[in-house]
Structure formats: C-alpha cells, structure tokens
C-alpha cells in the first residue's frame, strides 16, 4: 500500500485511551468464615492464590520484633509428614512460585501455579498455612539464618538506611521496626511464641483468600472450598490488643542524622516524615502530587538530581502506604562529594511544591496522563491481579476501586495538588538521614538548615 | 488425557525483513489494550576495545536524551502517553522498549525510528558529560558501594585474557568511563545503530498487517547501514586459579567459575539444569547439604551465564559465621564430584522438567518489558536468527536426560580448571583458600 511519508515536524498525536474496566470481583464466604474473592483472568492458564492474614509486623508484640515474619518463614518448613525439603520438592513439582510478604498490617502468602495444578497448589498452600509443623530444630536453623542475614545487611547501605529511617520516623511505635526484626529480639524468641502467634493470627476470621486465574468463578470457588473448607477457627483466642494502625505515632521535628560508613563511595539518603493514611480522602491528589514531585522518571526531583546535576543514578519519592499513618519520603544514593548539595536540593523541591513553585498545568497533565493511560498495563498477569485485589481487602476499598481510578485521578485539579502538598508535606517535620562517610559529609551538612547533624550507630 | 495433561505453550509471530534490512516481528495478544515495542541492536560490551570499556552502556543512556526531530528527553512525551520505557546493555546486545496504550503506538514508533535514524544531530557535549557522570554514579551505587559488588569483575578478569571482550563487565572501568571522548560517539552510532544491525518486535493489541504497515512507514526510510562483523574470541583455563578479594562484607563468600557453552550450544541447557539442581530451592543439593544439614553456609547460588560467544558457569556460597572457607570448598567439591560421577536422580529430572515448563509459561504472561514476549522474540531472532526458536528452546529442557546432564557436568565442571575467588572482610585475607592470590578491582 502507498504510505504517506512520516511527518517529523511534530510528534504524532496520541488517541484517546479506551475506558479501562477491571474484571469482576466476586466475593464469597465459606461456612468456616473465610472470605474468598475470585477474579477470572484468562490470558494464560496460570492461577495465583493470595492468602492475606491480618497482623503483619505491626502486630509483633513488644519486644518480639520479627515474630510475624519469622512465622511467615516457618510456614513452609514442613506440614504433616512433609519436611522443609519435601515441601520445596512438592512446590517444584507443580512449578509453583511461592512467596511470603510480611507487611506492616498484614502478611500475604502467595502461590502461583499452572491451572492444571490448581487443586494441588491450593491444597499444599492450605496444609502449609493451617497445619505447619513448627518444629524446634527447623526454628533454630531458620532463626539463625535470619540473624546471619541481618549481620550481612550491615554492609548494604539501602538496608541500613531503611531500618534506621523507620525508627527515626516512628520511634517506639509498632510500625517503627523492620519486619525482619533485630538480632537481640530474634535471639529471645521461642518456638512456643511462634506457635502461639500463628494460632492467634492465621485463622479464618482474620484471613482473606484471593484467587485470580484462567478458570471460571465457580471453579475458583470450588478449588478454594476443597482446600480451605475444613479449616476451622482455633479455640485459642485471636490476637488481642490495639491494632498498630490505631496507635498515633509521635511526630518528628526537623533534623539530620548520619550513619557513618567508612570510605563509602556514595551516600544513601532518605528525607521525609509521616504524612497520611491510605484511606485519606485526598489519596488521589497525593498520588498525583507525588508523581509530579518524584514518583516517576520525569519528576522534579529526578530531573534536578539526576538529569540536571548528575548527583545520582536516580532519585524518587513515594508514600509507603499503610492502614495507619504512613511516611512520605525521598530516596536516593548520591556521590559522596555531592551529599550536602543533594540534601539541600531535595529538601528545596519538597518545600517548593507546597506553594512557592506550585504544580503547573503541564506537570499536572503529564502526571495524570502517565498515571492513567498506562494503568491497564499493571494488570497483565494473574499474580498482578490477585495482589491488587488483596490490597482492596487490606484497605477496605470498594470492588469498583480499580475501574474508578482513572476518572478519580483525572478529576484532580492543580489547586488540589497544591492544597495537599501544603497540608501533608511539612518542612518543619522533615527528617534527613545520610548513610555515608561522615568524615567527608558531616561538615558540609552542618551548613544546611537541619541543625547540627547527629551520628547514629548501625543497628541490626 | 489426564486432567493434569501438559499445557500447550506457544509464542506465535509473523516476521518480515524491510528492504533496509530491519527485521520486524509481530505477535498479537489482545488481552490488555497495550502494545509492546522492543528494539534490539546487536551491540554490547563485547564490541568494545580494552581501554574503551563501558562505551556501549554509556551510549544507551544517550539514546534517551533526544534526537533531531524531538530534541529533548524521551521520557516526557512517552510518559505523558502512559508508556513505560527502559533500556539495557549487556555483553551481547542493547535493547530499548516501550509498553504503550494501543492509542500511542504511532508515538512510540516515531520516537524509536527518530533515534535510530537521527540521533547524532541532537547529541551535545553537555548531554554526553552529564550522562557520563550519571553512569559513574550508577557504577558506584551498583558495584562499588554494594557488598560483593566487585566480585564478578574479579571473576571475569580471571576467566578471560585481557583482550577478550568478556574479560570486562558491561558497566566498564571507572577510569575508562572518565576518559571517554565525545568524538567517539559518532563512529559508534554509525557502526552499530542501523537497521541492518537491529530487530524490532511489536507485541500486543495490534493487528499484524497494521503493525507491518507502521513499521514500514516509520523505519522504511532509514538507510540500511552494514551489519558489523561478528566478534571472535576464545578463552580457556589450564589450571585452577585461586584469588582473594577484600571487601566491605561481614561474611566471607566463595565463588567458583568455569568456562561453559555459549548460549543455545550443546550443554547450555544441561548446565542450566545442573545449576538448578545444585542451588535452586531447599531441595537443591548444595542448599540441602550446606545450609540445611551441615549449617555451614548462609546461602548458595549457581547459574549458567549463557552468552553469545561463550558462557561461564558460576557458583557462590556464603559462609555461615565461623565456617572455614577451606571446609566449605571441600563440601562444595564433594557435591560437584557426586554430580559428575552419578548425574541427577530421576526425581531431580522430573522436577526440572516441571519447573522448565512452568517457567516458559510464566514468561508468556507479559507482552513487554525485560523478559516479556517481545524481548524473547528479539532474543531468539538476534542471537539465534530464528524467532520461532521458543519451542526448540523449551525442547532443549524437555529432551535433557540424566546422561546429558551428567555429561555436561563432567565435561565442564572440572575441579582442575576453574577460578575460585574468596571474598573476605577487609584485613582477613588469611581466611581465603590456601594459595589465593590477591586481586585488585575498583
């Protein structure tokens, strides 16, 4: 066919985006009280199960930091007559991907397998979760591996920064520790505590099972019921106490801390403060604000620190959403010599979007377009779909949430963005953390408006 | 057929070559309203010369900075269209991809074709120097400031002679990156960035005929260029080389490396399976023996690094606190000897086959990005000359046998011809394997 020559005088126009509709989520409740949500996802004969249990690391009883995630690690260490090795073998034989993710508010156990192995995969997952062996000998090995891993992480600058920053932001609040725990707390744990925490948290009344895959709803439900129908609520009490999300953390004041790393080639930076809850009515405006400020490649922070100043390979900002008050923070790793300049430029960008340099129409349009036009690409796989639906359960969001996302984001105005930036970002509460060579970076950091830098030890 | 009968696994496509030599491959998948655009240039760090290492990767950064007709950063218009985009460089190829809403396919092709044809007029010394600094930061962040981050540099430098292009890593040496000359950019672009040396895949929500029309429209006008001559190099080891590297680490780690078959060559899949049965999952032999039973190691890993002109097989074992590297090496060697003497068990072969099938299927779940269907089609086309190789690739794993895995392990995993690197905490060189020679990498 005859082709018109390409007009290179301007970029081709982008057509309107088709309306995005998330597949139907069907909710069921099994007779034992287990909540089940099924989603048909037909592209490839693969199925993903996500069993979400309320009570993640935020439910670790003080001082047993790391207990929830250690329970997560113990679940696939054996069930019935199967040893840890046998479990690993059984997973491999159905080509399964098995994963445990302990978050602040919940732990997600997920398993992906081929549709033709759906029943075997579900039965295996159910056996692991509801009847784990929790043997003492496995426990001592798993705990030792965790302690050794923490020791290794002392040399991983981003890991050191993440742990120290959580503590700086939250203090003694139950969100203030890494799910991995710390060496001292782990050494004090017992297998009895693991068993008790398992019994108190992993039970039908606290769980939601999401299944997405290339099967019909009734088949997905049948698989769920066959595997989890016999699961009964233990007679022992469920976890008591106030949920971490309901405890108000003490807010920080502006300061700068340094974790010394001798001869570090780069400084790892975290700058932020506690800012918002996932259920805030301003969620969409905050997501747009973050996209403009540092949530994507073309953002103020990345353009300034990477593309203009070449301080770093990349810089980003984001909310680490939780049920309770969650942090907004900027993360980057910068050349040691540029540390103070990078902290200053980063803090200046956080400050400016609150009003001195409000979001422009172009920035707003770019952020909205990038958040909405590419939205469907986040739901290609069964695993993406199942994990997304489990987030709805965690945050008690409506089933229409994903289909509503695009119009909701597109309704955000420039005034909304400036308002939420001014309301939720607070320079007087900014905490800056530098993991780097203090003999080089401390002096220039002293000249910034964060007061006298304070040294923090590495804590694992 | 049983209810658990094998799932059919297929990656259908249509291929045409434009008059200028550009291969165009189209795969339809209408499940999600997105299209993946994926371009491979058959150039990587193996096309570099000693003293000029890191150039191919730095060049990749420049491809995002603007072209003649869109003389500004590429992220802005693509991100505004809802695209995800990225690029990467390895020893053998450089790839660029966008995943765009179906309505933005013209934009993605316009931009990909503009930088293929018209990059140079937009390249300035200032952009070059900024990206050179960004790459130096990338190197510090991902190699110098990361525990064990320099180990692979030490290994490849020991496996290959200094003039072999796999002896340096794609990121390049910091000294070479600092010394890079802006004037070298032009020649590099003219030599390697042309339709004859490139391959384009469109995968996703697009009709095949329209995809070919668009490819012709945007890329057909570009002069063909010439396909560069293949890089030829060889390497071998005649003895065991023991090295020690001091690093900012808490726990020492042993690396073992052997020369192995090139990508898709006989023995390549077998060594991939051997790596799995040695170190992938708790059932794996090294995990079971060193981590689970003896508790002398914290973690184990193994992998067949398949590359175009020759592979290497690498294993790593991190010592548990207090464990000696000498004892650890003896335990590893015992497992290697058992494998080479007796081969895999029947259970191991069954498991490997189930996992291979599942992994090939999982890789069909996404159209774009690194490792998605578009990237796989380009890999098969560029490195194998045949995008239909997907089925044959899977068959390599299905047809592997106890005997073929044992034979590959026997042939390649020799205790007498390999590199063994001890990475130890600073000041602890005495903890390395006996006879280890200190290496300096930076």
pLDDT tens digits, B54-80: 999 999 999 999 999 999 999 999 999
Token pair 């044809």: residue: B117
pLDDT tens digits, A392-446: 999 999 999 999 999 999 999 999 999 999 999 999 999 999 999 999 999 999 9
- What pLDDT shows up at residue B1? 32
Provide the shortest C-alpha distance from residue B336 to chain A (in Å): 20
Q: Average pLDDT for residues B286-293, to the nearest whole number?
A: 97
User: A-chain residues within 8 Å CB-CB of B31?
Assistant: 42-43, 380
ipTM value, please give it: 0.94
Mutate to test the interface with B, among A12, A100, A288 (most CBs of B within 10 A): A12
CA separation for the pair A337, A146 (Å, rounded):
35
* Cis peptide preceding A63, ω within 30 of 0: yes
CA separation for the pair B67, B59 (Å, rounded):
13
Asked if B251 lies within 8 A of A148 by C-beta distance, the reply is: yes
Number of CB pairs < 8 Å for A and B?
225
User: A-chain residues within 8 Å CB-CB of B100?
Assistant: 374
Mutate to test the interface with B, among A17, A95, A117 (most CBs of B within 10 A): A95
User: Hey, is B47 helix, strand or coil?
Assistant: helix
Find the CB nearest B84 among A14, A117, A377: A377
CA separation for the pair A329, B204 (Å, rounded):
36
User: B-chain residues within 8 Å CB-CB of A377?
Assistant: 32, 34, 82, 84, 99, 101, 368
Residues of chain A scoring pLDDT < 50: 1
- Helix A283-290 vs helix A401-410: crossing angle, to nearest 10: 60
A226 burial (CB, 10 Å; 0-12 / 13-18 / 19+) is: middle
pLDDT tens digits, B134-189: 999 999 999 998 999 999 999 999 999 999 999 999 999 999 999 999 999 999 99
- What pLDDT shows up at residue B9? 85
Provide the shortest C-alpha distance from residue B79 to chain A (in Å): 5
User: B-chain residues within 8 Å CB-CB of A8?
Assistant: 68-69, 110, 114, 118
Provide the shortest C-alpha distance from residue B150 to chain A (in Å): 13
- What pLDDT shows up at residue B440? 86
Q: Taking 70 as the threshold, does the pLDDT of residue B5 lie above it?
A: no
- What pLDDT shows up at residue A387? 98
Provide the shortest C-alpha distance from residue A455 to chain B (in Å): 20
User: B-chain residues within 8 Å CB-CB of A152?
Assistant: 147, 249-251, 298, 318
Provide the shortest C-alpha distance from residue A198 to chain B (in Å): 23
What pLDDT band is residue B6 in, cutting at 50, 70 and 90? low
Percentage with pLDDT > 70 across chain A: 99
- What pLDDT shows up at residue A385? 98
Find the CB nearest A148 among B100, B321, B364: B321
- What pLDDT shows up at residue B7? 64
B117 half-sphere exposure, CB direction, 13 A CA radius: 19
Characterize the bridge pairing of strands A106-114 and A46-54: antiparallel
User: A-chain residues within 8 Å CB-CB of B282?
Assistant: 84-85, 87-88
User: A-chain residues within 8 Å CB-CB of B81?
Assistant: 14, 369, 373
Percentage with pLDDT > 90 across chain B: 96
Containing H/E element for A140?
A: helix A136-153
User: A-chain residues within 8 Å CB-CB of B133?
Assistant: 310
Find the CB nearest A376 among B33, B358, B359: B33
Asked if A154 lies within 8 A of B250 by C-beta distance, the reply is: yes
Asked if A313 lies within 8 A of B101 by C-beta distance, the reply is: no
Q: Average pLDDT for residues B309-325, to the nearest whole number?
A: 97
Both structure tokens of A36: 């089940």
CA separation for the pair A336, A340 (Å, rounded):
9
Q: What's phi and psi for B45, nearest 5 deg?
A: -70, -15
Asked if A380 lies within 8 A of B216 by C-beta distance, the reply is: no
Residue of A nearest to B205 (CA): A377
Asked if A116 lies within 8 A of B367 by C-beta distance, the reply is: no
Find the CB nearest A380 among B101, B144, B365: B365
Token pair 């290496």: residue: B439
pLDDT tens digits, A219-253: 999 999 999 999 999 988 899 888 999 999 999 99
- What pLDDT shows up at residue B119? 97
Provide the shortest C-alpha distance from residue B199 to chain A (in Å): 20
Provide the shortest C-alpha distance from residue A242 to chain B (in Å): 37
CA separation for the pair B245, B255 (Å, rounded):
11
What pLDDT band is residue B2 in, cutting at 50, 70 and 90? very low
Q: What's phi and psi for B211, nearest 5 deg?
A: -60, -45
Percentage with pLDDT > 70 across chain B: 98
Asked if B81 lies within 8 A of A114 by C-beta distance, the reply is: no
Domains and CATH numbers, chain A: 25-234 (3.30.830.10), 251-456 (3.30.830.10)
Both structure tokens of B260: 């192995």
B86 burial (CB, 10 Å; 0-12 / 13-18 / 19+) is: middle
CA separation for the pair B358, B310 (Å, rounded):
27
Domains and CATH numbers, chain B: 14-219 (3.30.830.10), 240-438 (3.30.830.10)
User: B-chain residues within 8 Å CB-CB of A85?
Assistant: 282-283, 288, 292
Both structure tokens of B290: 């060193």
Characterize the bridge pairing of strands A97-102 and A106-114: antiparallel
Residues 6+ apart with CB under 8 A from A450: A254, A255, A256, A343, A347, A430, A432
Beta strands per DSSP E along A230-352:
255-260, 266-276, 312-319, 326-335
User: A-chain residues within 8 Å CB-CB of B79?
Assistant: 296-298, 366, 369-370
Asked if A8 lies within 8 A of B75 by C-beta distance, the reply is: no
User: A-chain residues within 8 Å CB-CB of B103?
Assistant: 14-18, 373
Other CB atoms within a 10 A radius of the CB of residue A63 amount to 12
pLDDT tens digits, A133-160: 999 999 999 999 999 999 999 999 999 9
Asked if B281 lies within 8 A of A92 by C-beta distance, the reply is: yes
Contact B133, B126 (CB under 8 A): no
Asked if B82 lies within 8 A of A148 by C-beta distance, the reply is: no
Asked if B292 lies within 8 A of A89 by C-beta distance, the reply is: no
User: A-chain residues within 8 Å CB-CB of B126?
Assistant: none
Mutate to test the interface with A, among B143, B358, B367 (most CBs of A within 10 A): B358
Contact A27, A361 (CB under 8 A): no
Both structure tokens of B177: 């990156």
The CA-atom distances, in angstroms, between A48 and each of A52, A72, A111, A118, B281 are 13, 18, 6, 9, 20
Find the CB nearest B110 among A11, A95, A265: A11
User: B-chain residues within 8 Å CB-CB of A46?
Assistant: 361-362, 365
pLDDT tens digits, B389-404: 999 999 999 999 999 9
Find the CB nearest B84 among A92, A96, A374: A374
Asked if B283 lies within 8 A of A306 by C-beta distance, the reply is: no
Asked if A84 lies within 8 A of B292 by C-beta distance, the reply is: yes
pLDDT tens digits, B239-273: 999 999 999 999 999 999 999 999 999 999 999 99
The CA-atom distances, in angstroms, between B351 and each of A89, A90, A96, A114, B1 are 8, 9, 11, 14, 21
In chain B, the largest separation of any two C-alpha atoms, in whole Å, equals 66
Asked if B103 lies within 8 A of A15 by C-beta distance, the reply is: yes
Report the sign of the C-alpha dihedral through residues A62, A64, A66, A70, in that order.
negative
Closest CA to A389 of A274, A217, A180: A217
Asked if B217 lies within 8 A of A379 by C-beta distance, the reply is: no
Q: Taking 90 as the threshold, does the pLDDT of residue B120 lie above it?
A: yes
A361-379 burial: b if 16+ Cβ within 10 Å, else e = eebbebbbbbbbbbbbbeb
- What pLDDT shows up at residue B376? 98
Asked if B140 lies within 8 A of A265 by C-beta distance, the reply is: yes
Provide the shortest C-alpha distance from residue B178 to chain A (in Å): 14
Mutate to test the interface with A, among B62, B67, B80, B86 (most CBs of A within 10 A): B80
């Amino acid at each position: 066919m005859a082709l018109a020559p390409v007009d290179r005088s301007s970029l081709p126009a982008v057509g309107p985006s088709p309306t995005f509709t998330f597949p139907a989520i069907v909710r069921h409740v099994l007779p034992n009280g287990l909540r089940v949500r099924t989603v048909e996802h037909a592209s490839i004969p693969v199925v993903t199960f996500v069993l979400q249990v309320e009570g993640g690391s935020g439910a670790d009883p003080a001082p047993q930091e790391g207990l929830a995630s250690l329970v997560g690690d113990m679940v696939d260490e054996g069930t019935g007559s199967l040893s840890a090795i046998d479990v690993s073998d059984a997973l491999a034989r159905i080509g399964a991907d098995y994963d445990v993710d302990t978050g602040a508010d919940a732990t997600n156990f997920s398993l992906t397998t081929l549709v033709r192995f759906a029943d075997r995969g579900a039965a295996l997952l159910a056996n692991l979760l509801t009847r784990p062996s929790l043997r003492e000998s496995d426990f001592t090995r798993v705990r030792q591996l965790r302690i050794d891993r923490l020791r290794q992480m002392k040399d991983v600058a981003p890991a050191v920064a993440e742990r120290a920053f959580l503590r700086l932001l939250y203090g003694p609040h139950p969100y203030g520790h890494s799910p991995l725990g710390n060496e001292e707390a782990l050494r004090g744990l017992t297998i009895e505590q693991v068993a008790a925490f398992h019994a108190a948290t992993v039970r039908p009344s606290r769980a939601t099972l999401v299944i997405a895959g290339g099967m019909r709803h009734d088949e997905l439900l049948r698989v769920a019921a066959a595997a989890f129908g016999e699961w009964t609520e233990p007679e022992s009490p469920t976890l008591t106490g106030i949920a971490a999300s309901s405890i108000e953390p003490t807010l920080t004041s502006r300061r700068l801390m340094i974790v010394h790393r001798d001869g570090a080639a780069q400084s790892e930076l975290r700058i932020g403060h506690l800012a918002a809850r996932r259920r805030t009515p301003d969620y969409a405006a905050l997501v747009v604000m973050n996209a403009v400020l540092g949530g994507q490649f073309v953002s103020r922070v990345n353009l300034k620190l990477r593309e203009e100043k070449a301080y770093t390979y990349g810089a980003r900002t984001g909310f680490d959403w939780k049920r309770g008050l969650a942090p907004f923070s900027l993360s980057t790793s910068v050349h040691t010599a540029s540390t103070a300049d990078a902290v200053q430029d980063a803090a200046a960008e956080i400050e400016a979007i609150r009003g001195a340099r409000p979001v422009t129409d172009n920035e707003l349009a770019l952020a909205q377009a990038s958040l909405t036009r590419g939205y469907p690409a986040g739901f290609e796989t069964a695993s993406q779909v199942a994990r997304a639906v489990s987030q709805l359960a965690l945050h008690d969001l409506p089933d229409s949430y994903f289909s509503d996302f695009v119009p909701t984001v597109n309704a955000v105005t420039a005034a909304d963005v400036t308002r939420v930036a001014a309301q939720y970002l607070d320079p007087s509460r900014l905490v800056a953390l530098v993991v780097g060579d203090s003999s080089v970076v401390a002096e220039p950091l002293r000249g910034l408006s964060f007061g006298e830098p304070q040294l923090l030890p590495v804590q694992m | 057929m049983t209810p658990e009968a094998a799932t059919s696994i297929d990656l259908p496509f249509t291929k045409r070559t434009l008059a200028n030599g550009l291969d165009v491959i189209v795969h339809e998948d209408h499940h999600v309203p997105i299209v993946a655009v994926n371009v491979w240039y058959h150039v990587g760090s193996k096309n570099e010369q000693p003293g000029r290492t890191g150039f191919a990767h730095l060049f990749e950064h420049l491809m995002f900075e603007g072209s003649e007709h869109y003389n500004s950063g590429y992220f802005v218009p693509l991100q505004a269209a809802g695209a995800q985009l990225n690029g990467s460089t390895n020893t053998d190829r450089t790839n660029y991809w966008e995943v765009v809403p179906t309505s933005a396919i013209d934009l993605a092709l316009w931009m990909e074709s503009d930088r293929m044809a018209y990059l140079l007029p937009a390249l300035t010394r200032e952009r070059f120097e900024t990206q050179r600094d960004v790459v130096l930061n990338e190197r510090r962040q991902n190699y110098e400031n990361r525990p064990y981050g320099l180990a692979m540099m030490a290994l490849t430098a020991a496996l290959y002679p200094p003039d072999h292009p796999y002896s340096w890593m794609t990121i390049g040496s910091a000294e070479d990156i600092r010394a890079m000359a802006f004037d070298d950019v032009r020649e590099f672009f003219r030599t390697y960035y042309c339709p004859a040396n490139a391959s384009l895949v469109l995968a996703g929500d697009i009709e095949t005929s329209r995809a070919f029309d668009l490819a012709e429209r945007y890329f057909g006008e570009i002069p063909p260029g010439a396909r560069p001559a293949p890089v030829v190099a060889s390497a071998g080891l005649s003895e065991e080389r023991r090295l020690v590297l001091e690093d900012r680490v808490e726990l020492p780690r042993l690396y073992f490396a052997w020369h192995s078959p090139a990508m898709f060559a006989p023995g390549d899949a077998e060594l991939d399976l051997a790596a799995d049965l040695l170190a992938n999952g708790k059932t794996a032999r090294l995990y079971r023996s060193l981590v689970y039973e003896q508790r002398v190691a914290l973690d184990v890993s193994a992998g067949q690094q398949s590359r175009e002109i020759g592979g290497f097989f690498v294993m790593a074992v991190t010592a548990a606190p207090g464990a000696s590297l000498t004892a650890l090496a003896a335990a590893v060697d015992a497992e290697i000897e058992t494998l080479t003497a007796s081969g895999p068990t029947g259970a191991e072969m069954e498991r490997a086959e189930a996992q291979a099938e599942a992994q090939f299927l999982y890789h069909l779940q996404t159209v774009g990005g690194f490792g998605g269907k578009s990237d796989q089609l380009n890999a098969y086309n560029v490195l194998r000359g045949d995008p239909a190789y997907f089925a044959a690739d899977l068959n390599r794993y299905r047809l592997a046998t106890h005997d073929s895995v044992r034979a590959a392990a026997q042939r390649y995993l020799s205790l007498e011809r390999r590199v063994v690197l001890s990475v130890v905490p600073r000041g602890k060189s005495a903890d390395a394997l006996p006879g280890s020679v200190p290496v300096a990498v930076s």
